[in-house]
Chain A
Amino acid sequence: MNQAWISPEDLNRDPELVNDAQREFYELPILNDVATADQKPQAAPGRRDFLKYLGFSLGAATVAAACETPVRKALPYVVKPDSIVPGVATYYASSIVRGGDFCPVIVKTREGRPIKVEGNTMSPLSEGGTSARAQASVLDLYDVARLREPSGTMGDQTMSTWDDLDAAIAKQLAGGAIRILTHTEMSPSVHKALAMLSAKYSDVEVITYDPISSSATLQANSEAFGTAAMPGYHFDKADLVVNFGADFLGTWLSPVEFANQWAKRRKIAGKEGKDMSRLIQLESNMSYTGSNADQRVLIKPSEQGLAIAKLHAAVVGGNASGTLSNAKAEEAIQVLADDLKSSQGKSIVLSDSNNRAEQALIIAINRALGNYEATISMAAPSLQRQGIDADVVSLLQDMQAGRVNTLIICGDANPVYDTPEGAAFAEAIANVSCSIACTSMPSETQELCKITLPTPHALETWSDVNPKAGHYAIVQPTIHPLFNTRPLLETILGMAGAPESSYDFIMSTWEADVFPQQNKYASFQAFWDSTLHDGFALVGGQALPEAVSVPTSAGVTRPAGTELEIAYYEAMGVGNGSYANNPWLQEMPDPVTRVVWDNVLHIPLAWNGRNDFEYFQGLDEDGDLVNLTIGESATKLPIVRQFGQMQGTVAAALGYGRTGTGKAGNNVGASLYPALSRDADGNVMYFATDASVSRKVGHDDDFASVQHHHTMGVTGKDETQGGETINVDEKAVMTLGNGYQGGLTKRSILRQTNVDHLEEAIDHLKHEREHHQHLNEQTLYPDRTDFYGLGHHWGMSVDLSACIGCGACQVACMAENNVPIVGKREVMRHHEMTWMRIDRYYYGDVESPNVVYQPMMCQHCDNAPCENVCPVAATNHSAEGLNQMAYNRCVGTRYCANNCPYKVRRFNWLDYNTADLFPANENDPFDEATPYYADNLTRMVLNPDVTVRSRGVIEKCSMCVQRIQEGKLRAKAERRALADGDIKTACQTACPTGAIVFGDTNDPKSEVSKLNKDDKSYYVLEETNVRSSVGYLMKVTNRSEAINTTEA
């Protein structure tokens, strides 16, 4: 008998009801009608049903029409992880590694997602500095173009799971020769795993190359010292650096480390400049390091070998036959030789030459000067470049001959793009029976590989780094892998038949190989814990190897005597091309040319001594397109007219013109890798002597340069006035139509001097500032005194002598403050949004000018002209001296931006950040289905502490007010007074040279107060009485009177 019943039929177990009850949706008449129409005809829906349907449809239609809100799913934690406190950032010590680039960092995570990297102040290599590339690496993590799933085909079998792929690969590996191609790999664990793989199979070879290589240096060191490694450098110990073209402050070897060392000898305390080092750059193009040099001596790329040989002859002895086309360079080399000889053991001679004989001469010069183990170390060599160029050629020959059975491409290795033989590689890959790409990003080479095994981003995985002998660093995961990826290390271990997790393998490697080298910690656990905390471990170094060879100058490059030579350089942002899909780096202006999103051809200009500049090929507008022909290869490039570019030479960057990466990086600029050629040793030559440039063939309408005017007080000789030195800024273009550009020299924006005139310059500055202050005291409101004398008053100091213009601060600011990128076309329209920019000006002699980089951000004026003009008080002053923006209040009249003397205010012309509801305003720079910032993956990089600004509001530097607030709260929670250095802005922590100091100017003991009271300190445009809070320290150079640097 039924216990519960709802009707007599139920009670009686009516068969029809039982039957219906088994059908789940019996209650829904329509469904039942449809389902059982033929079996069980029923009456049409009745009045009540009609009303029900009517009600439902009406309700549904109303809901659907009125509340079309996107559904956002959020899952709360069931058990909250201990390390995640909402709203509180967690930091992990880690490293950013890409090929030979290495930067020790602290990763900031919020709610389990990494959003920012900071320099690791404990690291002896960087001492807290970072590079723009390291700062931009968090954006790579959230790159929509990343490879998400493993995939591959073998024969006619298509696979998409790790198990299938692993099984197929295992079968394949046993079949014959295995070749592994990689850029410089600094992970000791990966090296160990590769050794295990080599041990397992009979014919395994690991080929290491660098797209922009130091192969010849490795070879020369191998010959000279028996160690195929790059030397370690100590720029902080060098009084004189003679540099043949190496971009050691920007891209060469270990720029963050070197910039940090170099800047220590460039900052001057007070009026004493005795300890200042001198950097002399010998090169043809205005390289980034050259722009920071005290003097540049112009030599053609093909004459570099002879110039080195001449320096060798002058320092070591012997003779070097031949003459340089620039007679002043000959003289300069003799002067430099004498200077070097008087700085024995306190100098560095270096070159980025990829010629073995030239590097041997450099070694000989340094050895003769006693620089080894004083300023240069082979006892603690750098391992950041390991590639031998010729190995790639033999691999290619093996592939073409069908001698390679399995080719494994690791990481960013991309021979189809980044070697001179790219096209041949693309064809030869077809000859390999199985090609495997282990990489995180699509590339020209990965496209052609049969199997793709996606690897995680460095912020998602365990890894280790050995950038320098005795220095081991750790890479820690800071987020669960976003995609179905597997670290390279695990893949290789799997291939070697010993599958193990990266973490376990790294720990056992360290226990076996690294731990025994040190004696600080007795137990491995303690050692490991301290490594994870610090991010690195230092262990004993190596002994200095014995010298084994005597170099000769045979084999150095000989002057070509051709009409036009071209030098190639590594771009600051995109590097060798592996950073190309990072919009933050693409939109970071090249420090020297100030061009974004493009590769440009630098062409020389000359002051004709009368009234005009003369430009190469008559190209008188930046962005004009020309055809560049080098040997067989032809490229179309926009030009920039470049101060300091030697006559008869041009220059362009490598690393642009990707075609196989994501949408942001594809087809940006043109690639010049195919134009490269190799010397007899197989080493790639980063110059060519057979270049030719056409006349103007068009104009790039989207050519985007953030700075139109480049000089500030450039002088030249006026032959019409009997050789009198005049201001070229004024004279050159003071004609109707071109636009008057003069009146610059006396602007109170830059202060610079040479070290021997430092005292005079300080006196002059003092008098000028006294005059300005006197004017500023003439006020209508004498009783209105100091509003900001109590409590904190935030301010900053920027040392122009230490700032090298690298752009790390700019990218850090974008990452910290959710500053959007806008794309090439919008930058062309001068709509860039950067809160912080680095102004670059040329000054001094027109043929060989010096360069000053001036970081420019909101000056937080205490008498701010932007504040009083805002009709709605959206921008106003805080009690702590901050000029603040209330975005919600901003109507967008742009009056404040017009009235800002520093032009640091940025207006949201479009909805760059996709913060609004109306998609019509969104900016879609890469022509994607979802505009750049609208993608949820990309948005993960946003800092939750900083408002995402909508269309139509003004924004600008806030001096990282969120950090100020956090610092104050932390001090309050710890019940103590805020100490100097508790709060650091994003630009400050990013700076590799410590040029930016932030602090409380009301605290007389704070560093910023001391710096702003320095004799060399000044405020930009002080006489406008805006009362800026950002002090600048005068730029001081250390030029030598004896070296004449102008061209012959």
Chain B
Amino acid sequence: MSAVVSPIRDPLITGHKDYHQITEDICAPSERTPSVAWVVSFLIAVSVLAVGVFCILWTIWFGIGTWNLNRTIGWGWDITNFVWWIGIGHAGTLISAILLLFRQKWRTGVNRAAEAMTIFAVLCAALFPGIHVGRMWVVFFFFPYPNTRGPLWVNFNSPLLWDLFAISTYFTVSLLFWYTGLVPDFATLRDRATGLRKRFYNFLSFGWTGAAKHWQRFESLSLVLAGIATPLVLSVHTIVSFDFATSVIPGWHTTIFPPYFVAGAIFSGFAMVLTLMIITRKVLKLEDYITVEHIDSMNKVILLTGTIVGVAYLTELFIAWYSGYIYEQYAFLNRVKGVYWWAYVGMMSCNVLSPQIFWFRKFRRNIALTFFMSIFVNIGMWFERFVIIPTTLARDYLPSSWSYYVPTWVEIGIFIGTLGIFFTLYLIFTRVAPVVAIAEVKSILKTSGDQYAGEHAKHAHKPHSHEEESVAH
């Protein structure tokens, strides 16, 4: 990256790193014996995953009747969790594609983990459409392929089908993008490894030699994939929102859903990136690569997107009143004051009110606070989906059919299980691949390293201080 960096920008790499030190630092977690913390975390994650597997098998064996969904409320925690995970999966593409195109250098510190998180979150999300159906052994009916049943085609009018295409496309592109970035780093690991590990990384790195031609192709492919992925950032959650927006149910049938869902998805995605990064940088000792500057930048995105969803919530209320349509008015009054009022309160306070503290630089740079806020935002975004799905269904047109819904232990178990799947995969990822993109970080060292940029550049020989730690403790 050859762009000129303003001297008043804070450095993105601290600790006076050189290229070799970067390689050493980032490769280290996958080269040393796993720490006790890692082993304990992994065991917990796998146990939680096992709970999820048990609950999924329970659902398959005993039927969807083991869930508390009913004649009125056909979707509950299942689709709430689905949309929540899809939303979380949004940060990865945004960071890799849009921020790449916008030349945001701070993305290099977090893009690898964010992309990995995207892939794992989409996997967790994709689980729900598969298992929430009544007859999961015929879900292959969803796929449009020439068949012997007529041939009988799928219904291209159905938003669920659009969903299928949107999510599978997104998953494929995200996976390619992630893997493309990993290839040079795998080669780095290969070069440092011996024996079986060497053969393993040799296979994964596709024979990367670091030749100029390789780098040229790598750059081109990254750019092409970024180009493909950029519209996907907008399209996936837009299409997920169509599941609701194209229906006739008041509270779902809303034109504001696509932008509102996209903003909400980025919002929750960044919150999850923060949750993971704050732990990862500490545990893997990557504070020099994922700095307070990164956290500050991400908090700004959180503030922006949180405020966008807040505006969307208020717009919905206004439009319901302005529509003059009693069902619409009722649907939103019900959201605020109805049987699930607590979910609305949870959503509003976590998503709209609490992120407002990030107007203050001091709070944006407070790591402990940021960590709690990121959890808050994720809870709030879960509530948002819950408010949209069961609350709306519970009180629609005909009062005779109104109902109420509380999940069973099976539904809760599956949700917890997806957290287990997510963290198991993430923990494996931290052991197998470099959590920070080595090649990309190296590319900004000369412009954003602390010996080249920011205040420390002027005092190059002063011992560097962990500013963030003093704030955190």
Contact = CB atoms under 8 A, between A and B. Distances in A.
Interface stretch (A244-252, A502-510, A613-621, A733-741): A733-741
Contact of B396 (A735, A871, A901, A909): A901
A890 to B, nearest CB: 7
B333 A829 contact: no
Given A740-B338, A856-B400, A891-B135, A901 B158 contact: no
Interface in B206-261: 243, 246-249
B320 to A, nearest CB: 11
Nearest to B341: A736
B309 to A, nearest CB: 23
A696 interface: no
A920 interface: yes
A903 B400 CA distance: 9
Given A868-B158, A894-B75, A747 B70 contact: no
Contact of A899 (B69, B70, B247): B247
A923 B64 CA distance: 12
Nearest to A838: B400
A872 B141 contact: yes
Interface in A878-931: 889-895, 897-899, 901-903, 905-911, 918, 920-921, 923
B99 interface: no
Given A890-B134, A920-B62, A869 B158 contact: yes
A891 B133 contact: yes
A907 B152 contact: no
Contact of B142 (A830, A831, A872, A906): A872
A873 B153 contact: yes
A872 B134 contact: no
Given A831-B70, A832-B71, A910 B133 contact: no
B372 interface: no
B318 interface: no
A841 B398 CA distance: 11
Contacts of A872: 141-142, 154-155
Interface stretch (B159-167, B295-303, B378-386): B159-167
A538 interface: no
Contacts of A951: 63-65, 134-135
B155 A707 contact: no
A708 interface: yes
B71 A907 contact: yes
B54 interface: no
A676 B401 CA distance: 37
Interface in A734-784: 734-737, 739-744, 746-747, 749
Contact of B398 (A736, A830, A839, A907): A839
B132 A893 contact: yes
A743 B326 contact: yes
Given A742-B333, A868-B158, A889 B400 contact: no
Contacts of A889: 141, 152
A952 B134 contact: yes
Contact of A747 (B71, B74, B326): B326
Contacts of A899: 247-249
B327 A747 contact: yes
A1026 interface: yes
A870 interface: yes
Interface in A838-874: 839-841, 854, 856, 865, 868-873
Contacts of B246: 868-869
B428 to A, nearest CB: 32
Contacts of A918: 61
Given A871-B161, A891-B142, A894-B74, A749 B397 contact: yes
Contacts of B400: 707, 709, 837, 839-841, 854, 856
Contacts of A893: 129, 132-134, 160
B346 to A, nearest CB: 14
Interface in A716-748: 734-737, 739-744, 746-747
Interface string A807-850: 00000000000000000001001111000010111000000000
Contacts of B69: 894, 909
Contacts of B330: 740, 742-743
B403 interface: yes
Nearest to B74: A894
Nearest to B328: A743
A902 B397 contact: yes
A893 B133 CA distance: 5
- Residue picked from B154, B247, B329, most chain A C-beta under 10 Å: B247
Nearest to B129: A893
A952 B133 contact: yes
A950 B141 CA distance: 17
A954 B61 CA distance: 19
A898 B73 CA distance: 7
B65 A923 contact: yes
B121 interface: no
B138 interface: yes
A824 to B, nearest CB: 15
Nearest to B157: A868
A104 B399 CA distance: 36
Interface string B38-66: 00000000000000000000000111110
Contacts of B132: 893
A712 interface: yes
Interface string B138-155: 110110000000001111
Given A830-B71, A892-B64, A952-B64, A870 B402 contact: no
Given A841-B400, A891-B138, A871 B154 contact: yes
A191 B136 CA distance: 61
A229 B399 CA distance: 45
Contact of B248 (A837, A891, A1026): A1026
B337 interface: yes
A909 B67 CA distance: 8
Contacts of A873: 152-155
Contact of A740 (B64, B164, B334): B334
A1024 interface: yes
A1021 interface: yes
A953 interface: yes
A920 B155 contact: no
A746 B329 CA distance: 12
B402 to A, nearest CB: 5
A409 B268 CA distance: 73
Contact of A871 (B155, B327, B341): B155
Contact of A897 (B71, B138, B152, B341): B71
Contacts of A831: 65, 70-71
B68 interface: yes
B353 to A, nearest CB: 18
Contacts of B152: 873, 889
Give the one of B135, B152, B243, B341 with max A CB within 10 A: B135
B402 A708 contact: yes
A632 to B, nearest CB: 39
B65 to A, nearest CB: 4
Given A920-B62, A953-B135, 15 more contacts: A711-B399, A735-B337, A740-B334, A826-B65, A831-B71, A839-B398, A871-B155, A872-B142, A873-B152, A891-B139, A891-B142, A901-B397, A951-B64, A952-B63, A952-B135
30 contacts: A708-B402, A709-B399, A709-B400, A734-B337, A735-B337, A736-B337, A736-B341, A743-B326, A830-B70, A837-B400, A841-B399, A856-B400, A871-B142, A871-B164, A873-B155, A891-B134, A891-B136, A892-B135, A898-B75, A899-B248, A907-B64, A907-B74, A908-B134, A911-B63, A920-B62, A952-B133, A953-B134, A953-B135, A1021-B397, A1024-B248
Interface of A: 707-709, 711-712, 734-737, 739-744, 746-747, 749, 826, 829-832, 837, 839-841, 854, 856, 865, 868-873, 889-895, 897-899, 901-903, 905-911, 918, 920-921, 923, 950-954, 1021, 1024, 1026
9 interchain residue pairs of minimum CB distance: A892-B134, A952-B134, A894-B74, A909-B65, A910-B65, A830-B70, A743-B330, A839-B400, A903-B401
